[in-house]
Chain A
Amino acid sequence: GEDVEQSLFLSVREGDSSVINCTYTDSSSTYLYWYKQEPGAGLQLLTYIFSNMDMKQDQRLTVLLNKKDKHLSLRIADTQTGDSAIYFCAESIDQGGKLIFGQGTELSVKP
């Protein structure tokens, strides 16, 4: 079945770059997403990439997609303490509102 895997924790220093990685299994995914969850809040979409792209840049965020290896990454440049949150990778498997989520990566940014 469909599966999305992420490492659970990442710790970086303020000002460094953060790279959060994700692997997925469904090669028919149309879109892949990165969501951010701050403590006690719902999920907010950070960015997404269409499956026929290999890179997308949006200000401090860079998404890289390697379809051959089914690997997705999110790079946050100049990481700030306000970036501390849980980041979820997700894939859309049938364009029907069904998202398969990874376990979430808790990013801790130390001053």
Chain B
Amino acid sequence: NAGVTQTPKFQVLKTGQSMTLQCAQDMNHEYMSWYRQDPGMGLRLIHYSVGAGITDQGEVPNGYNVSRSTTEDFPLRLLSAAPSQTSVYFCASSRRQGSGEAFFGQGTRLTVV
């Protein structure tokens, strides 16, 4: 059981470049989210989705787009990378019912130069 899979694990971008961080889960979870982790700031919610076709903004959505065309996949797009987007990105998924336990991917370490 793979759980939540993120690719790539590491990425270096130049300012202004675009890229997509991939996230896939095989647990049939309704909810999926993207967080960024910065030193001393914990994890901050970028975007989230409560089901296929539905997305919403989190705490820090600017500069990022998402889509949820299937239950399994929730890609995060950086349209024009900026140095302020240098961070570690985590994707998470959880069930609608129960304790809401979130399962996390291993993270993508992104550096924008």
Query: Hey, which bits of chain A sit against chain B, CB under 8 A?
Result: 4, 6, 8, 30-31, 33, 35, 41-45, 48, 50, 88, 92, 95-104
Q: Is the CB of B100 within 8 A of A30?
A: yes
Q: Smallest distance from the beta carbon of A6 to chain B beta carbons, Å?
A: 8
Contact of B100 among A8, A31, A43 (CB under 8 A): A31
Interface 0/1 of B17-48, CB less than 8 Å to A:
00000000000001111010000111111001
State the interface size on chain B (CB cutoff 8 A): 30
Interface centre among B96, B102, B106 (most CB of A within 10 A): B102
A sample of 22 inter-chain contacts (CB < 8 A) reads A8-B40, A33-B102, A42-B90, A42-B106, A43-B90, A43-B104, A92-B100, A96-B48, A97-B33, A97-B50, A97-B92, A97-B94, A97-B100, A97-B102, A98-B48, A99-B92, A99-B102, A100-B45, A101-B35, A101-B43, A101-B44, A103-B41
Interface 0/1 of B45-59, CB less than 8 Å to A:
100111000000010
**How many angstroms between the C-alpha atoms of A21 and B48 in the bound complex?**
27
What residues of chain B lie closer than 8 Å to A6, measured between beta carbons? 42
Contact of A42 among B50, B96, B104 (CB under 8 A): B104
